[in-house]
């Protein structure tokens, strides 16, 4: 039982590790190869739309718009037009001027000269340089500067390159550019900022090199004050309007080509000059958005996925789905929160991980569980537990549902089985109880007198015994119950209950399939009647033993005072026969009801004493008993009283059937039978022997030689039966035969008793 869940657990553990590894690798890969850039940009666009910066009033865009085109004609205009503007602006007291128009080709020299001159009249005017990507003749880029002398007339040159994302959007910018000669070109706006504020921007100072891209926060479209070029040139707008402003001059008209897609919700484009306005605005507010370093991006992406993976072990499936949704929201909220703190955390990888891990784990878990259920059901079948075939009326079902239904049936079946067993146990005719290995009573039947209800229980065993077993038998019962291995003769215990009933209790182990001990069954048989009968029988035997003997003893005592006559002799003989009969009868009954318990006996002396006790009888008829002891002091294990009585019976018998003045030969010797040592005792008389028809049933009860050859001596019948019973009880045997005359010795009946030798005592 213990091994199975851990198998499923191990399998799930492996699956889980696999899922965790796959999810982590996915996230690492996505971050490393920027696989979800499009998705991340989309999220970025949506999020940044929620929080747009305010446009600064310091910035003024002078737009070459449709109105200006219609006022001055088609582009490109003569450079005299620009010279005219710059001459006007010289007196404007603007903070800085950035002129975002390319002047890389020469026009007629006089005009260029005029322009250069007008530019130099504005000491705060900056011009752009352009990078052409890719450059001519395999160069990475070509640098396009304004023509001389215009170039020299400007306060400085700044790069105006736009960084396009893969989707063509302008989200990022770099504040400087390093060309192949190693020269660093700050951005045009950075130059304007420096001029206006007298120092480099904070963002510029912060960055470590020019490759670093910053995300540009866009103010809402049209947030910057814009005036048409024409209106300024025509004097529709006073020049004083430019005072204390940073002036950005650039093309906004659709036809002029300086329009770029930007991340705005309306999806439209933005003129290059307005993008630059946004850049300047960001420099001013120092609110560029910097992307997280990759390692931090990785950590933040892995974190929610691992939280979910850990949760799989702890949470219920329903909880995990809510947790997944919560984690997805959390990632988005974190991303937005960081964004408003000017840091960009791309949520794509984390979201992908979360979205990946939930169904994959669900699938692997279901697969493992399904396999496990399959296996378990198979085990169940192998264990020969009969599971009824599942019949679903609802038509085809999916595999796992099928397994679940089958499992439900199996459980119901086991429940039925349990009920069946409980019913069977409850209907047992005799009391019983079951204990578990914890020593507690688990089930009880028909033990109402203990005050415990029938059925399943959880009750201390000692408590129950105290309520049931009579105090004098308690120790014996407890000793029986604590025995581990029971000797055969102790496979049950008798005890009297508190209600004076007598029970025999047997205990059997309950062992599981794996051979593990699960508990014990105790079965109690009510043997009150048997015990009472045995008790009565013992009382009857006691009575018989005394009450039959006592009158005979009195008769013999009475006779003792009388003068000897034929009558008194015969009365005495009959009294003695009755005594012998009583002794044999009681002895027989008693040994049949008692367990054999032997002690060490020196057999030769026992036989000699038996013979000694019959000496008066033998002497009266001048019969001599010779004892040949070759038993070498052999000891046997025996019950002395019954053995003594047996040999008395045998020798008495020999005397009875011997003619007067004959000899009885008693020979004892040690011999081997089937390699086991025995003592053989043979007793031979010189009588007429045993008749053929008597030989067969000599040792049966009440067999007595009534053939009448010697009418004066009659066996009590019980005598030899007693002997045979006793000898058999000692593991010995007895044999009777007739011996023919030989070598001058008269033949007769011979009884031979074989008794096994006692084992040698351990020498101390």
Partner 1 sequence: MRIAIADDDKEIVEFLGGIVEGLEYVYAGFPDGNALSSALLRDTFDLVILDWNMPGRTGMQILEWMEGAIEDRPPVIMMTSRAAKQDISDALNAGADDYITKPEDPGVIAARIQAILRRGSGSSAMEASAQYGEYKLDRIEQKVHHKGKDISLTAKEFELTDLMFRNRDRTLSRRYIMETVWRTNAHLATRTLDMHVSRVRSKLSLTPENGFRIFTVFGYGYRLETLGNGS
Residue of 439, 633, 696, 759 that binds partner 1 (CB under 8 A):
633
Element (H, E) at 624: strand 624-630
Using the rule CB under 8 A, is 5 a contact of partner 1?
no
Using the rule CB under 8 A, is 644 a contact of partner 1?
yes
Using the rule CB under 8 A, is 553 a contact of partner 1?
yes
Site string for partner 1, 177-216 (x = CB under 8 A): ----------------------------------------
Contacts 24+ apart (CB under 8 A), 574-582: 576/552, 577/716, 578/548, 578/552, 579/549, 579/552, 579/553, 580/649, 580/652, 580/716, 580/719, 581/716, 581/718, 582/544, 582/545, 582/548, 582/549, 582/552
Alpha-carbon distance 454 to 631, whole Å? 63
Using the rule CB under 8 A, is 545 a contact of partner 1?
yes
127: cis peptide before it, omega within 30°?
A: no
Using the rule CB under 8 A, is 640 a contact of partner 1?
yes
Please report which residue ranges of 658-713 form alpha helices under DSSP H: 692-695
Residue 65 in 3-state DSSP? coil
Using the rule CB under 8 A, is 563 a contact of partner 1?
no
Judged by beta carbon, residue 485 or residue 764, the one nearer partner 1 is 764
Minimum CB distance to partner 1, residue 423 (Å): 50
Number of residues that bind partner 1 (CB under 8 A): 37
Residue of 235, 293, 471, 616 that binds partner 1 (CB under 8 A):
616
Residue of 467, 549, 577, 669 that binds partner 1 (CB under 8 A):
549
CA distances from 468 to 112, 341, 462, 483 (A): 127, 81, 10, 20
Using the rule CB under 8 A, is 88 a contact of partner 1?
no
Using the rule CB under 8 A, is 620 a contact of partner 1?
no
Which of 264, 268, 237 lies closest to 68, judged by CA? 237
Minimum CB distance to partner 1, residue 439 (Å): 39
Using the rule CB under 8 A, is 554 a contact of partner 1?
yes
Minimum CB distance to partner 1, residue 586 (Å): 8
Alpha-carbon distance 729 to 613, whole Å? 24
The CA-CA-CA angle for residues 379, 382, 383, to 5°, reads 90
Minimum CB distance to partner 1, residue 718 (Å): 15
Alpha-carbon distance 515 to 508, whole Å? 14
Q: Which stretch binds partner 1 (CB under 8 A): 128-136, 370-378, 481-489, 547-555?
A: 547-555
Alpha-carbon distance 55 to 278, whole Å? 8
Using the rule CB under 8 A, is 615 a contact of partner 1?
yes
149: cis peptide before it, omega within 30°?
A: yes
Using the rule CB under 8 A, is 341 a contact of partner 1?
no
Using the rule CB under 8 A, is 162 a contact of partner 1?
no
| 395 burial type by CB count under 10 A (0-12 exposed, 13-18 middle, 19+ buried) | exposed
Judged by beta carbon, residue 139 or residue 550, the one nearer partner 1 is 550
Q: Which stretch binds partner 1 (CB under 8 A): 259-267, 404-412, 432-440, 553-561?
A: 553-561
Minimum CB distance to partner 1, residue 737 (Å): 28
Judged by beta carbon, residue 321 or residue 554, the one nearer partner 1 is 554
Using the rule CB under 8 A, is 622 a contact of partner 1?
no
Judged by beta carbon, residue 49 or residue 538, the one nearer partner 1 is 538
Using the rule CB under 8 A, is 400 a contact of partner 1?
no
Residue of 358, 635, 647, 722 that binds partner 1 (CB under 8 A):
635
Minimum CB distance to partner 1, residue 545 (Å): 6
Residue 682 in 3-state DSSP? strand
SS (H, E, C) 71-113: HHCCCCCCHHHHHHHHHHHCCCCCCEEEECCCCCCCCCHHHHH
Using the rule CB under 8 A, is 561 a contact of partner 1?
yes
Residue of 260, 342, 590, 746 that binds partner 1 (CB under 8 A):
590
Which of 343, 351, 339 lies closest to 301, judged by CA? 351
The sign one gets for the Cα dihedral 170, 172, 176, 177 is: negative
Residue of 223, 604, 649, 665 that binds partner 1 (CB under 8 A):
604
Element (H, E) at 151: helix 150-153
Using the rule CB under 8 A, is 569 a contact of partner 1?
no
Judged by beta carbon, residue 264 or residue 556, the one nearer partner 1 is 556
Q: Which stretch binds partner 1 (CB under 8 A): 109-117, 292-300, 611-619, 661-669?
A: 611-619
Contact 269, 254 (CB under 8 A): no
Alpha-carbon distance 225 to 190, whole Å? 20
Residue of 600, 630, 676, 700 that binds partner 1 (CB under 8 A):
600
DSSP per-residue codes, 195-221: HHHSS--HHHHH-SSTT--EEPPPPPT
Using the rule CB under 8 A, is 320 a contact of partner 1?
no
Using the rule CB under 8 A, is 589 a contact of partner 1?
no
Using the rule CB under 8 A, is 560 a contact of partner 1?
yes
Contact 642, 597 (CB under 8 A): no
Residue of 42, 608, 694, 703 that binds partner 1 (CB under 8 A):
608
Minimum CB distance to partner 1, residue 615 (Å): 4
Alpha-carbon distance 710 to 721, whole Å? 21
Minimum CB distance to partner 1, residue 704 (Å): 23
Judged by beta carbon, residue 331 or residue 601, the one nearer partner 1 is 601
Using the rule CB under 8 A, is 544 a contact of partner 1?
no
Which value, in Å, is the radius of gyration of the alpha carbons in the chain?
A: 62
Judged by beta carbon, residue 400 or residue 581, the one nearer partner 1 is 581
Residue of 265, 546, 574, 621 that binds partner 1 (CB under 8 A):
546
Residue 249 in 3-state DSSP? strand
Minimum CB distance to partner 1, residue 744 (Å): 24
Contacts 24+ apart (CB under 8 A), 444-448: 447/524
Minimum CB distance to partner 1, residue 591 (Å): 11
Judged by beta carbon, residue 434 or residue 727, the one nearer partner 1 is 727
Residues of this chain that bind partner 1 (CB under 8 A): 545-546, 549-550, 552-558, 560-561, 575, 579, 583, 590, 599-600, 602, 604-606, 608-609, 612, 615-616, 619, 629, 633, 635, 640-641, 644, 761, 764
């Amino acid at each position: 039982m213990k091994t199975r869940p851990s198998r499923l657990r191990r399998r799930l553990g492996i699956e889980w590790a696999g899922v965790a590894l796959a999810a982590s690798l996915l996230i690492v890969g996505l971050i490393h190869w920027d696989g979800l850039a499009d998705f991340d940009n989309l999220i970025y666009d949506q999020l940044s739309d929620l929080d747009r910066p305010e446009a600064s009033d310091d910035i003024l865009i002078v737009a070459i718009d449709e109105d200006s085109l219609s006022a001055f004609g088609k582009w490109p205009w003569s450079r005299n037009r620009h010279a005219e503007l710059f001459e006007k602006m010289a007196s404007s007291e603007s903070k800085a001027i950035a002129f975002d128009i390319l002047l890389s080709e020469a026009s007629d020299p006089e005009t260029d000269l005029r322009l250069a001159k007008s530019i130099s009249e504005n000491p705060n005017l900056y011009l752009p340089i352009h990078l052409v990507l890719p450059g001519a003749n395999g160069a990475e880029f070509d640098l396009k500067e304004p023509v001389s002398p215009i170039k020299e007339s400007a306060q400085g040159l700044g790069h105006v390159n736009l960084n396009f994302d893969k989707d063509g959007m302008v989200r990022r910018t770099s504040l400087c550019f390093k060309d192949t000669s190693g020269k660093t070109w700050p951005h045009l706006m950075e130059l304007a900022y420096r001029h206006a504020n007298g120092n480099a921007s904070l963002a510029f100072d912060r960055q470590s090199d020019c490759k670093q891209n910053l995300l540009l926060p866009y103010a809402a479209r049209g947030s910057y004050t814009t005036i048409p070029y024409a209106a300024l040139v025509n004097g529709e707008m006073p020049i004083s309007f430019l005072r204390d402003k940073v002036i950005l001059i650039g093309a906004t008209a659709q036809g002029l080509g300086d329009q770029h897609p930007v991340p705005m919700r309306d999806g439209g484009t933005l003129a290059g000059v307005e993008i630059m306005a946004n850049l300047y605005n960001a420099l001013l507010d120092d609110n560029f958005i910097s992307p997280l370093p990759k390692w931090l991006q990785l950590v933040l992406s892995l974190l929610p996925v691992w939280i979910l993976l850990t949760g799989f072990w702890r949470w219920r499936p329903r909880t995990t789905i809510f947790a997944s949704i919560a984690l997805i929201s959390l990632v988005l909220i974190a991303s937005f929160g960081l964004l408003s703190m000017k840091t960009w955390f791309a949520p794509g990888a984390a979201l992908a991980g979360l979205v990946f891990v939930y169904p994959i784990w669900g699938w692997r878990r279901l697969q493992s569980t399904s396999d496990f259920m399959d296996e378990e059901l198979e085990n169940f079948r192998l264990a020969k537990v009969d599971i009824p075939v599942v019949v679903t009326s609802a038509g085809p079902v999916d595999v796992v549902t099928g397994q679940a239904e089958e499992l439900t049936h199996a459980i119901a079946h086991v429940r039925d089985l349990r009920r069946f067993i409980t019913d069977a146990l409850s209907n047992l005719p005799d009391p019983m109880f079951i204990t578990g290995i914890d020593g507690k009573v688990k089930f009880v039947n028909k033990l109402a007198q203990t005050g415990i209800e029938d059925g399943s229980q959880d009750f201390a065993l000692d408590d129950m015994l105290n309520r049931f077993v009579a105090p004098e038998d308690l120790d014996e019962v407890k000793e029986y119950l604590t025995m581990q291995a029971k000797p055969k003769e102790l496979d049950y215990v008798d005890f009297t209950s508190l209600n004076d009933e007598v029970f025999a209790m047997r205990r059997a182990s309950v062992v599981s399939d794996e051979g593990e001990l699960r508990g014990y069954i105790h079965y109690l048989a009510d043997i009150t009647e048997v015990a009472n009968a045995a008790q009565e029988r013992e009382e009857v035997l006691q009575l018989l033993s005394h009450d039959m003997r006592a009158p005979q003893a009195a008769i013999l005592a009475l006779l003792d005072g009388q003068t000897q006559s034929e009558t008194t002799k015969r009365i005495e003989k009959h009294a003695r026969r009755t005594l012998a009969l009583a002794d044999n009868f009681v002895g027989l009954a008693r040994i049949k009801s008692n367990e054999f318990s032997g002690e060490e006996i020196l057999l030769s002396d026992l036989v000699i004493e038996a013979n000694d006790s019959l000496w008066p009888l033998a002497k009266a008829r001048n019969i001599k008993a010779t004892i040949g002891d070759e038993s070498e002091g052999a000891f046997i294990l025996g019950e002395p009283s019954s053995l003594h009585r047996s040999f008395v019976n045998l020798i008495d018998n020999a005397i009875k059937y011997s003619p007067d003045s004959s000899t009885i030969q008693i020979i004892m010797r040690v011999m081997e039978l089937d390699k086991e040592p025995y003592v053989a005792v043979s007793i031979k008389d010189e009588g007429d022997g045993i008749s053929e028809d008597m030989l067969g049933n000599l040792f049966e009860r009440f067999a007595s030689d009534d053939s009448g050859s010697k009418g004066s001596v009659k066996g009590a019948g019980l005598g030899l039966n007693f002997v045979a019973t006793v000898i058999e009880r000692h593991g010995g045997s007895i044999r009777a035969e007739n011996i023919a005359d030989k070598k001058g010795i008269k033949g007769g009946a011979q009884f031979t008793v074989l008794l096994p030798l006692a084992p040698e005592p351990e020498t101390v």
